[in-house]
Amino acid sequence: MAASSSPLNLSRLELGRRPDCSVPNFVKLRRDASKTKYLPSRLCVASAANGGGFRNPVVEGDGIIIVDHGSRRKESNLMLNEFVIMFRDKTKYPVVEPAHMELAEPSIKDAFDSCVQQGATRVIVSPFFLSPGRHWHQDIPSLTAEAAKDHPEVSYVITAPLGLHELLVDVVNDRITYCLNHVAGEEECSVCAGTGKCRLYN
C-alpha cells in the first residue's frame, strides 16, 4: 500500500468508507470533527489483508499490569485480584499482575518489579478505567515512568482505557438485568450480596 493511501493518512470519513480497513469497536466516526474531542488524530486500524481484525500483539517476554484506582475498602481492591485471575485464565498470558494507582498495595512499581522478576522484557500497563481522564493522561504515565527507572533494559507501553467499546453495552445491560431480577426475588450477584443495596427504593 502506498504511503499516500495508508490508513493513518486517511480522514475519518475516508476510513469509514474504506472496504479494506476496519475501525475498532470503541471508535465512532463522526462527520463533525469538532465533536471528536477524545478521538486521536491517528486511529488504530486493521487491514482486511490481515484477516480484517487485530492480531494478538502480546508475545513471549511480555508482562501485563492491570491497574485500577485503588480504594480504602479492602473488598473493592480484592475485586481487581479476582478480575486478574479471570483475565489470566482466559487469555493464558503467563505474566499478569494487579496494581492500584493509589491508596492500596500492590502499587504500579510493585507490579512492574514483579513482571520483570518473572522475565518480562516489555511491560504492558492496561488501565482498568472507563474514561481517558487525568489519571490516564498524567498519573499512571508518571508512576509507570518512575517504576521503569529501576529497569532501563525493559520497555513499556500504557494502553487506552476501556472507553466506548461495544461490549460494554452488554456488560452494563447484564448488570441492570441481574439486579432487576434480584429486586423481583432472585439471587443477588456477588457485588451486591449482603450489602442490602440492590433493592427497590420508594
> How does pLDDT run across 15-29, given as a tens digit for each residue?
333 343 334 444 444
DSSP state of 137: I
Residue 158: other Cβ atoms inside 10 A:
17
Residue type, 66: I
pLDDT of residue 106: 96
Number of Cα atoms under 13 Å in the Cβ half of residue 170? 3
Q: Minimum mean pLDDT among 28-42, 47-61, 91-105, 168-182: which range? A: 28-42
Taking the C-alpha atoms of residue 157 and residue 105, their distance in angstroms, rounded to an integer, is 21
Percent of the chain scoring above 70 in pLDDT: 70
Which residue did the predictor score with more confidence, 170 or 189? Answer: 170
C-alpha cell at 65: 499490569
C-alpha cell at 14: 475516508
pLDDT tens column, 153-173 = 999 999 999 888 888 899 999
Q: Minimum mean pLDDT among 2-6, 32-36, 196-200: which range? A: 2-6
pLDDT of residue 133: 81
Where does the pLDDT of residue 178 fall: very low under 50, low under 70, confident under 90, or very high at 90 and above? confident
Taking the C-alpha atoms of residue 110 and residue 97, their distance in angstroms, rounded to an integer, is 9
Range 75-84, long-range pairs (CB < 8 A, 24+ positions) = 77/104, 79/191, 80/128, 83/128
Contact (Cβ atoms closer than 8 angstroms) between residue 177 and residue 189: no
Which residue did the predictor score with more confidence, 20 or 179? Answer: 179
pTM of this prediction exceeds 0.85: no
Across residues 172-177, what is the average pLDDT? 89
**What is the pLDDT of the chain when averaged over all its residues?**
76
Taking the C-alpha atoms of residue 171 and residue 188, their distance in angstroms, rounded to an integer, is 16
Where does the pLDDT of residue 66 fall: very low under 50, low under 70, confident under 90, or very high at 90 and above? very high
Q: What share of the chain is helix, strand, coil (3-state, %, to 5)?
A: 40, 15, 50
Taking the C-alpha atoms of residue 76 and residue 19, their distance in angstroms, rounded to an integer, is 44
Domains of the chain: 3-50 (no CATH), 62-158 (3.40.50.1400), 165-202 (no CATH)
Classify each residue of 6-36 as buried b or exposed e, where b means 16 or more C-beta atoms within 10 Å of its C-beta.
ebeebebeebeebeebbbbebbeeeeeeeee
Q: For the chain, what is the largest distance between any 2 Cα atoms, rounded to a whole number of angstroms?
A: 64
